[in-house]
Amino acid sequence: MISIAPDRSLFADESALQAVRYLVGVDGGGTGTRLRLSDLDGRLLGQGEAGPSALGQGVDQAWRHIEQALQQAAEQAGLAGPQGLRHAECALAAGLSGANLPAACSEFLASQPGYAAVIVVNDGYTTVLGAHGGQPGAVVASGTGAVGEVLRRDGSTDCISGWGWITGDEGSGAWLGLKAIRHAQQALDGRAVPGPLAFAVWDLTGRSRESVLAWCAAAGQHGFAQLAPLVFMAADKGDAVAQRFVDEAVTELEALARALDPQSELPLALAGSIAKRLESKFSGNIRARCVEPQGDSADGALHLVRSALNAKMGSR
């Protein structure tokens, strides 16, 4: 069932692949990077975390943070130092936000620091593999961004949403943050009545036109996503505008779930802080299909690289 587009992977020749001793699974988003290191049999050896590795924030940054997370994992595994973990002994799969852009994937593969194998796919794909153990199912993932991924019973896959925080990712943290800043701007202009949400945003950005503009210019996807908790806190305080934004997020994520599985027959896993926070607000049919994920995107990346390596080399 596991398939990889030809332009999403880079493998050394067979003799070099024989030297692979370790598997690396990466989950990289707009907020942070999580990495797991295992042996060829899937036994976990170490884990690491670092800053964001979404491709939309730059390939150099992505590799820098992946390498930082790998160093942590290697230290946990007792493989640190010059004679410890070598790139040539590792096969890596990375589920990265923004990997739906072919040019970014090509640059990522061309910049890789010497791994025996590298696979790069969208983090939604590794999330669905991890959530359902490689079996058919759907995932609605909403954290900094939002994306839905499905692995159908016939082996086909589909990706819904995930268009990026500027024009899409409805129901995500950055999407909520954009709504929050627009409301704060309108309240500052006198076009809306300020309430708990506007005041909370102003506490962060300042209350002058100049300070708000400066904050927006520097914020980026991660900065806007940091406003999402303010929306939830304001809704809890009875702010009607914030509550409307929360309700709209529920509507968007439910629409995503239905688009992934129109027949409503596959198990549905939720990933990301926003999706998990909103689960209790979903309608009965969607909530009834929700299952606890078996693993996360980093687990899915390990599943992917192990399957791909076995396919290249035969069962090992």
Same domain assignment for residues 272 and 301: no
10 with 123, same domain: the answer is yes
Q: Please report, in tens digits, the pLDDT of each residue of the chain (316 residues total).
A: 555 655 687 888 888 888 999 999 999 988 899 999 999 998 999 999 999 999 989 999 999 999 999 999 999 999 987 677 999 999 999 999 888 788 999 999 999 999 999 999 988 889 899 999 989 999 998 988 898 999 999 888 888 998 888 899 999 999 999 999 999 999 999 999 999 999 999 999 999 999 999 999 999 988 999 999 999 999 999 999 999 999 999 999 999 999 999 999 999 999 889 999 999 999 988 999 999 999 999 999 999 999 989 888 774 4
Q: How many CB atoms lie within 10 A of CB 252?
A: 20
Take residue 203 and report the two structure tokens written for it.
Answer: 């506490």
DSSP class of 305: H
CA atoms within 13 A on the CB side of 243: 7
- Domain of residue 206, CATH code: 3.30.420.40
- Domain membership of residue 33 as a residue range: 6-133+294-313
The verdict on residue 262 lying in a domain is yes
- Verify that 204 and 272 share a domain, yes or no: yes
Quick check: is 166 in a domain? no
Residues in the chain: 316
Residue 222 lies in a domain: yes
Of residues 158, 25, 165, the one with CA closest to residue 97: 165
Question: pTM, whole model, 2 decimals?
Answer: 0.75
Give the DSSP letter string of 233-293.
Answer: HHHHTT-HHHHHHHHHHHHHHHHHHHHH-TT--S-EEEESHHHHHHGGGS-HHHHHTB---
Residue 151 maps to a domain: no
The answer to whether residues 206 and 244 belong to one domain is yes
* Cβ–Cβ under 8 Å, residues 31 and 97: no
165 located within any domain: no
**Cα 73 to chain centroid, rounded:** 20
Q: Hey, is 217 helix, strand or coil?
A: helix
Does residue 97 fall inside a structural domain? yes
Alpha carbon distance 188, 180 (integer Å):
12
Residues 6+ apart with CB under 8 A from 105: 7, 8, 55, 99, 120
Tell me whether residue 162 is in a domain.
Answer: no
Same domain, 20 and 104: yes
238 strand-pairing partners: none
Query: Is residue 233 in some structural domain?
Result: yes
Number of structural domains in the chain: 2
